[in-house]
Structures are given as C-alpha cells and as structure tokens.
Amino acid sequence: MKNDYLELLERKNEIMKKSVGIDYSVFESGSIAFDYEGMMEKVGYSLEEIREIQNETCVGNTPMYELRNLTNLVRSLTTERKGARIFLKDEASNPSGSFKARRAATAVYHAKKLGFKGVIAATSGNYGAAVASQAAMRGMNCIIVQECYDSKGKGQPEIIEKARKCEAFGAEVIQLSVGPELFYTFLKLLEETGYFNASLYTPFGIAGVETLGYELNQQMKDLTGKNPDAVVITNAGGGNLTGTARGLIKAGADKTEIIAASVNLKGLHMASDRDFNKKSFTTGHTGFGIPFTTIPDRSDVPRSAARPLRYMDRYVTVNQGEVFYMTEALAQLEGLERGPAGNISLAAAFAIAQEMDKNKTIVVQETEYTGAGKHIQPQLSFARNNGIEINLGNPIDEIPGKTIVLPAHPSLIKIQDLDLNQLRKSLIKNCLSGLKNKNQKNISDTDIQFLAEETKTSTTKVKEIIKNISHKMKL
C-alpha cells in the first residue's frame, strides 16, 4: 500500500491536470509568487454567464430575510444607540440545501462542456450533495468520497446524513475512515475513471460563489438603499469567504467589512483518529479554518483558488454551545429551522451586532438545510455518547472535546477575535519554508508584492515580517 501510495503521488500533477483541465504550471513563477488572478480568469466565464449557468439548474436567487426578532433581542442586550439590523441570506433554498450548489453548478457544467462522463468530489460536507444534485440534473455520473468514520467504524450523524442525501441524488458514495486514505482513494478513482475533479478549490468552484456575494449586495441595496456594512461568513476551507468577497467587490461593495467566523475547536486535530468524533461540526471550525487560512494550498489541487486571508478584515470564533443556542433561537424567534453548522456566522453576527450602531446592517451570508443527522438533538446525543459533557452556563467555560456549554442567557453569547497579524505571519513563514525546501534564498519584489496581496497588507509590512522571522529560519 505504501509503495502504491508513493507511486500515485508521483503522478499527482499529471492526474490533476487531466482531471481538471487546467495546467497549473503556466501560472507558476518557480518561486513564492504565482499568477492567482490569471488562474481565476482561466474559468473562462463572466459573472453574468455563471449566473445564467446556475439559473439553468435553479441555483441562486435565494431570499434575503431581515431577522427583526433577533435584532430586537440584540437591542435589548446593548446600549440605546447600538444594535445593527441583522439580515440573513437563505442559501438553504438551493436545490441541494446549501450555498455549495453554486460551486457545484459551475464545476459540473464545465465538466459536461469538456465531455467528461462523470464527476468526483472528496468531501464529507454539503458539497457532496451539491455535486450529486447538479450531476443528476446534467445527466452525469457522480462519485463522492467521504471521510466518515474513526478506526472503530463510528460515523458522525451529520456526515451519515449527507451520505444519504448524496445517494438520494443517485451518486455512488465511498465512505472511509479518517487518514491519508482519502487523498489516495480520490487520486486512484480520478485515474481509473477518467472523471472530472469537481474539487471545492478549483477556480470554477470559487467563481461559482461570486454570484452569492454579488446577489447579496444587490438585495441589500434594494432593501436598505445601500451596501451592507458587514458580512459574516462561516470559514473552513476558505472558498465560501473568497468567492463571496470577490462577488461583493464586483458589485461595488469594496468597503463592506468581511468577517470570517469559525467554531473554536482549539486542541482538536481534524486528521486525528482520536479527535475525529470529539467535534460536533464537520465544517466551519478552526481545525479547517486556521490551517487553510495560513496554508491555502493544502487542498486537493496544486493551487487552491480559495485564499481567504486576501479578503478578510476580521476573524472571530464562537463556541459550539453558542451555535446550538442560536440554531434554536432562529427557529423559535424567526420560524426558520436550519442546520447548526450554517448558523456559525449567525452566532457571530448576534454578538457583533451589539457592537455596531443601530443605523448599520450586518448580513449572515448563508444557511444550510437541516435533516435527521444534522439536527441539534442527534449531534448532542452523539457528543454525549463520545464522553462530552453537555452543560448550561457560560460558553466561555467550554472545553473543546470535553464539554459543550449552552448559554444560560443570550447575553453570554460572545465572540473571540483571532489575531490577523499572527495569521499573516504564519502564512508568510509557511511560504518562506517552501522557498527553503526548494533550496532558494532569493525573495524577489514580485514575491513581496504577492505576499502583500495574500495577506491583505502592504509590501512594507511584509518586509518587516520577513525581517523578523528570516534569521530564525536561516534564510
């Protein structure tokens, strides 16, 4: 198996090029920098063309709700002049029940156009259902590879729920235990079937999300007469934030604050068999959010089109108990029952709205469908069965992997800010390590400019960071 794995990895770039239809090498400089915008233009479709592609399969044009009751609750907890209006973009209205239908629609359409007979995606999340749904509409075969179980064969209810949804759309679902076998199996299937790699992280997938940001902004202008002041986006692999932010910019909302939100799962390792079933959310947590923010190219394609640090103005975390609480609050105060993982950004927005003036607006950028395994109760029951204590109290006392603390009062819902400068430093350090591994020591002006764009900062700041860390790395 080890030899097979190593041999397969040697053919990785060849397999990717054939299965995605992109020669990533043409965008490389041989150093740190690469042509990101050139890669994004490789999609070959304008924003309007992507909207037309999505309209063909009823993707997009999802409703925008003003959450008046939650806004009133916010205002009851803060000072007289504070309490921004909260709006919610209901992406659960897409055919597969999440915003990821937008990513899948573009990827599957392109696969069909290129003449592929089927598509493959490696995901344990909503994207699998989205790809399966779009493949069914386009008359294509579909294989979804899931990281589903720990070594004892115990699978999370949310992942199993998504497998059922994929199968309902006619996809073949291959379920694996946590570990390197996911990427091995994925590569092997791509090579054996000759199917299109409908990766979450290709330019096609990210460009598909741009319509969400554009559409969101147009709806807010219709409802309020102006661009939103802030948009809160659940952050995991970074594609959600990247695509939405790019769409907002194309809509002229370049001053809108982009806020990333993840569930705090500090101390849990997502590739660890021991920790795999200690989490209650399979996405939208720091176990994906922070690594993909600081090393975007850890994805299943040579260069990820999801590069969230380029666009985020703020990164906050909330706790699991707060998300469960806000899921019930959304259902009982606004009459909208949606899946917990999609309410991560809602929990963050509820706290942030209390900081903002009354005349400001904050948008929760997406929702996701709920179902048997994605409901609160099976997730909490699964946590109890895995030795997690469920308590009522102050969520600040929650310990990931040991306790889930439901807030005793909505005033206890708070956000924790992550240090963006520290994340920028980590990304630059990781890029320098890659340069060192190539036995290169020269950092060009092009590299500096690229890193400034990657970190949404200045070349002066990048040079300062490099100066502070390069001597430790002996560069």
One-letter identity of residue 185: T
Give the number of residues written for the chain.
Answer: 475
Instruction: Give the list of residues 6+ apart from residue 309 with CB closer than 8 angstroms, or none.
Output: 293, 294, 296, 420, 423, 424, 427, 454, 455, 456
* 348/291 same-domain check: yes
Whether the predicted pLDDT of 448 surpasses 90: yes
pLDDT (mean) for 221-237: 97
Backbone angles phi, psi at 61, to 5 degrees: 55, 40
Regarding whether 462 and 314 lie in a shared domain, the answer is no
pLDDT at 381 exceeding the cut of 90:
yes
Tell whether 258 and 349 lie within a shared domain: yes
Q: Which one is predicted more confidently, 282 or 258?
A: 258
In Å, what is the CA distance from 174 to each residue of 32, 107, 147, 183?
Answer: 36, 20, 9, 12
Q: What is the predicted pLDDT for the residue at 306?
A: 98
Residues 254-271, mean pLDDT to the nearest whole number: 93
Same domain, 373 and 463: no
pLDDT tens digits for range 89-107: 999 999 999 999 999 999 9
Are 324 and 377 contained in the same domain? Answer: yes
Average pLDDT for 47-56: 97
Q: What is the CATH number of the domain that holds 90?
A: 3.40.50.1100
| Whole-number pLDDT of residue 434 | 80
CA distance 293 to 11: 27
pLDDT in tens, 124-179: 789 999 999 999 999 999 999 998 888 888 988 888 999 999 999 999 999 998 88
Clarify whether residues 231 and 368 are in a common domain.
Answer: yes
The model's confidence at residue 440, banded by pLDDT at 50, 70 and 90, is low
Q: Which residues contact 244 (CB under 8 A, 6 or more apart)?
A: 209, 210, 212, 213, 216, 231, 233, 258, 365
| Residue 400 domain-assigned (yes or no) | yes
- Same domain? For 346 and 250 the reply is yes
The domain of 230 spans 57-97+207-417
Determine the Cα–Cα distance for residues 450 and 302; give it in Å rounded to an integer.
17
**Total structural domains within the chain:** 2
Q: Would you say residue 389 lies in a domain?
A: yes
Q: Is residue 174 situated within a structural domain?
A: no
In this structure, the answer to whether residues 438 and 309 fall within a common structural domain is no
Note whether residue 6 is domain-resident: no
pLDDT at 3 exceeding the cut of 60: no
> Are 334 and 449 members of one domain?
no
- Tell me, yes or no, whether 410 and 446 share the same domain: no
Distances (CA, A) of 304 to 47, 205, 292, 298: 20, 10, 10, 8
**Taking a C-beta distance cutoff of 8 angstroms, is the pair 377, 384 a contact?**
no
Q: Residue range 462-475: average pLDDT?
A: 79
* % of the chain residues with pLDDT over 70: 97
- Predicted TM-score (pTM) of the model is 0.96
With beta carbons less than 8 A apart as the criterion, state whether 246 and 372 touch. no
pLDDT value at residue 166: 95
**Residue 70 shares a structural domain with residue 211:** yes
Write down the pLDDT at residue 474.
Answer: 55
Q: Is the pLDDT of residue 436 over 80?
A: no
Q: Give the per-residue pLDDT at 373.
A: 87
Is a pLDDT exceeding 70 seen at residue 437? no
For residue 439, pLDDT beyond 80? no
Predicted confidence band of residue 2 (pLDDT cuts 50, 70, 90): low
What tens digit of pLDDT does each residue of 13-37 get?
889 889 999 999 999 988 999 999 9
pLDDT digits (tens, 9 = 90+) for 286-332: 999 999 999 999 988 999 999 999 999 999 999 999 999 999 999 99
- What is the mean pLDDT of the segment spanning 40-53? 94
Model confidence band, residue 260 (pLDDT cutoffs 50, 70, 90): very high
